[in-house]
């Protein structure tokens, strides 16, 4: 077979390499088929530059670029040359435009936003949820669009699809994330407007969520007296008291380990792995809690867990244990483990304790400056606050004069 017959498209794939790279004209003015010494194949177009010298511009590899597509590219380049445009320079300019467009896509902006979230100390579980919502909801809808081409109606349509499946909490999160992504893009000079703003005004109303059952201050004296007379096992009873005295999440209490509790300093350090954030959370223990834990240590001190379950060395008390303690003293459906946090928060705020100190005790993280705290945030203030709280509860139980709130 003559190499001059390569203009037959079916022959291209069978062309063999030679010791040196060779080019053959492919039946279209200045279009060449190139076979390298290693057998790689590509298309090239030959043209004369403005300075009169001949040059080459690549049109792509074969078979990625078919013979038909190569002929079309050659025809396009002929038009460029006839118009006085250098094909190589045109190709470079087009590549820069493509790179700029890629950098200005919503996907690129979202990935930058996510990377900053990952570096900010978010827990892996939280990041996994963010990643899931990005990949499953947000990016399929907006990812490939240029930032400047996204309008408020696009963001509204995305949120409507999420609200349509009754995922109102997800829609709330996504609405906030969209605003953050566009705000960062504006700050980086990638776009001028935030099309995710003002979307709260058209947000579908979410069903009202009921608060965890909890008690208010007037109800506490009888409750605390009943707790003092509780017949529940010491493990369950102490776990319930610890949620009351520290306003900790029941799950944190259930999985507490003796190695994390320093009874000498009255400090309980909950590891980052157990928290919603990547930071440890330090819980000051009032003297009442320290006394109760010392008593419990006589029973469970040989275990890893402070509150082991029955029958297995490493088993933990069930998630219903604390609620069962409350149920057995006649408070079923009136207060639950999580409700003790609301009770503490309400009472502390009503008595003038600083909101940031209360939020830090609850291990809540707020956005902005007030949300930036280290593992021992406000520890001195919280130690004072929670000791006052335990003393106040004790006074309510005994019917004595409650202590005055110390000056902070």
pLDDT (0 to 100) of residue 367? 41
Question: Which homologous superfamily does the CATH classification assign to the domain defined by 217-398?
Answer: Intergrase catalytic core (1.10.443.10)
pLDDT digits (tens, 9 = 90+) for 133-157: 999 999 999 998 999 999 999 999 9
Tokens of 315: 């088993």
Q: Is the dihedral of CA 132, 252, 381, 407 positive or negative?
A: positive
Residues forming the active site: 249, 276, 338, 341, 364, 373
Q: Is 188 helix (H, G, I), strand (E, B) or coil?
A: coil
Spell out the alpha helix ranges (H) of 104-195: 106-118, 124-133, 139-142, 152-164, 168-187
Question: Which regions of the chain are under pLDDT 50?
Answer: 1-5, 366-375
* Domain limits, the chain: 3-98, 106-202, 217-398
> In sequence order, what are the beta bridge partners of 33?
24, 43
CATH classification number, 106-202, choose in 1.10.150.130, 2.60.40.3500, 3.50.50.60, 3.40.50.880: 1.10.150.130
Contact present, 196 and 155 (Cβ < 8 Å) = yes
- Laid out side by side, the sheet with 31-35 consists of 22-25, 31-35, 41-48, 54-61
Class of domain 3-98: alpha beta
Contact 386, 246 (CB under 8 A): yes
Asked if 42 and 62 count as a contact pair (C-beta separation under 8 A), the reply is yes
| Assessment of whether the complete model's pTM goes beyond 0.85 | no
pLDDT of residue 124: 76
What are the pLDDT digits (tens) for 295-354? 999 999 999 999 998 866 558 899 899 999 999 999 999 999 999 999 999 999 999 999
């Amino acid at each position: 077979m003559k190499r001059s017959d390569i203009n037959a498209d079916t022959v291209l794939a069978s062309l063999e390499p030679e010791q040196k790279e060779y080019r053959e004209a492919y039946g279209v003015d200045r279009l060449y088929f190139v076979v390298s010494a290693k057998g790689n194949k590509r298309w090239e177009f030959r043209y004369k530059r403005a300075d009169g010298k001949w040059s080459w511009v690549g049109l792509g590899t074969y078979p990625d670029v078919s013979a038909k597509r190569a002929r079309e590219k050659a025809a396009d380049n002929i038009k460029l040359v006839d118009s006085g445009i250098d094909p190589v320079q045109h190709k470079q300019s087009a590549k820069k435009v493509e790179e700029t467009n890629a950098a200005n896509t919503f996907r690129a902006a979202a990935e930058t936003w996510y990377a900053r979230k990952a570096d900010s100390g978010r827990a892996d579980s939280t990041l996994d949820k963010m990643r899931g919502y990005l990949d499953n909801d947000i990016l399929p809808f907006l990812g490939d669009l240029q930032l400047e081409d996204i309008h408020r109606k696009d963001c509204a349509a995305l949120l409507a699809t999420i609200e349509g499946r009754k995922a109102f909490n997800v829609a709330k999160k996504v609405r906030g994330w969209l605003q953050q992504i566009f705000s960062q893009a504006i700050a980086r000079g990638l776009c001028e407007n935030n099309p995710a703003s003002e979307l709260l005004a058209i947000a579908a109303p979410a069903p009202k969520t009921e608060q965890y059952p909890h008690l208010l201050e007037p109800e506490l004296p009888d409750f605390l007296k009943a707790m003092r007379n509780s017949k529940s096992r010491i493990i369950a009873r102490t776990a319930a008291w610890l949620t009351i005295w520290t306003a900790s999440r029941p799950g944190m209490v259930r999985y507490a380990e003796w190695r994390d509790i320093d009874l000498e300093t009255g400090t309980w350090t909950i590891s980052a792995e157990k928290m919603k954030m990547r930071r440890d959370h330090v819980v000051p223990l009032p003297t009442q809690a320290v006394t109760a834990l010392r008593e419990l240590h006589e029973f469970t001190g040989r275990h890893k867990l402070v509150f082991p379950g029955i029958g297995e060395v490493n088993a933990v008390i069930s998630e219903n244990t604390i609620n069962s303690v409350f149920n057995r003293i006649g408070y079923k459906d009136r207060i639950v483990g999580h409700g003790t946090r609301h009770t503490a928060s309400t009472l502390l705020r009503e008595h003038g304790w600083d909101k940031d100190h209360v939020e830090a005790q609850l291990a809540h993280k707020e956005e902005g400056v007030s949300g930036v705290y280290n593992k021992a945030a406000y520890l001195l203030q919280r130690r004072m606050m929670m000791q006052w709280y335990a003393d106040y509860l004790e006074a309510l139980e005994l019917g004595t004069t409650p202590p005055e709130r110390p000056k902070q």
